[in-house]
Amino acid sequence: MCPTELHAFQDKVEEFKALDTEVIGVSVDSKFSHFAWLNTPKSQGGIQGVNYTVVSDLNKQITRDYDVEVEGAGISYRGLFLIDKDGLVQHQVVNNLPLGRNVDEAVRMVKALQFFEKNGEVCPANWNEGAKGMKPTDEGLKEYFNEAVAA
């Protein structure tokens, strides 16, 4: 877990809560390391102020289960998983170590999943909240493209 990402998720934690979504961080560091980071100010590179759950995956079981382990290095890639209310992974993105995740994109994906669950319509490319969905059929695709061309 990168401290910048932990703080970025903290900045949006109320928005996630409003979407009935829980943010959980997982790291291969020990609970003692987490405690030290949580007591270190942001100005000193710490994560003081982060108040959502941060899980210690010291035995790396979660890391292996979600296939984000950097084998032999004792660390993990940067993984983000959107898990629905039935426990199914609906979205995942795994970045290499130098590439930070986009929290606004995570919020957008939660909204897209909720749009689908509510309306039964899929979210086409570049969908954002308030945009039209698409029926998940050949007819729905044709209708979507015909409306886009007419606009």
Instruction: Identify the domain containing residue 62 by its residue range.
Output: 3-100
The pLDDT tens digits for 31-61 are 999 999 999 999 999 999 999 999 999 999 9
Does residue 92 lie within any of the structural domains?
yes
Does residue 132 lie within any of the structural domains?
no
Q: Is 2 a catalytic residue?
A: yes
The pLDDT tens digits for 67-101 are 999 988 989 999 999 999 999 999 999 999 999 99
Query: Burial, 27: exposed, middle or buried (Cβ in 10 Å; 0-12, 13-18, 19+)?
Result: buried
Does residue 29 lie within any of the structural domains?
yes
The number of distinct structural domains making up the chain is 1
What tokens does 107 get?
């919020």
Does residue 93 lie within any of the structural domains?
yes
Look up the CATH number of the domain holding residue 10.
3.40.30.10
pTM of the model: 0.90
Does residue 47 lie within any of the structural domains?
yes
Q: Given the residues 1, 2, 43, 49, select the one marked as catalytic.
A: 2
Percent of the residues in the chain that have a pLDDT greater than 70, as a whole number: 99
* pLDDT recorded at residue 148: 73
DSSP state letter for 105: H
Does residue 127 lie within any of the structural domains?
no
Mean confidence (pLDDT) of the chain: 94
Does residue 65 lie within any of the structural domains?
yes
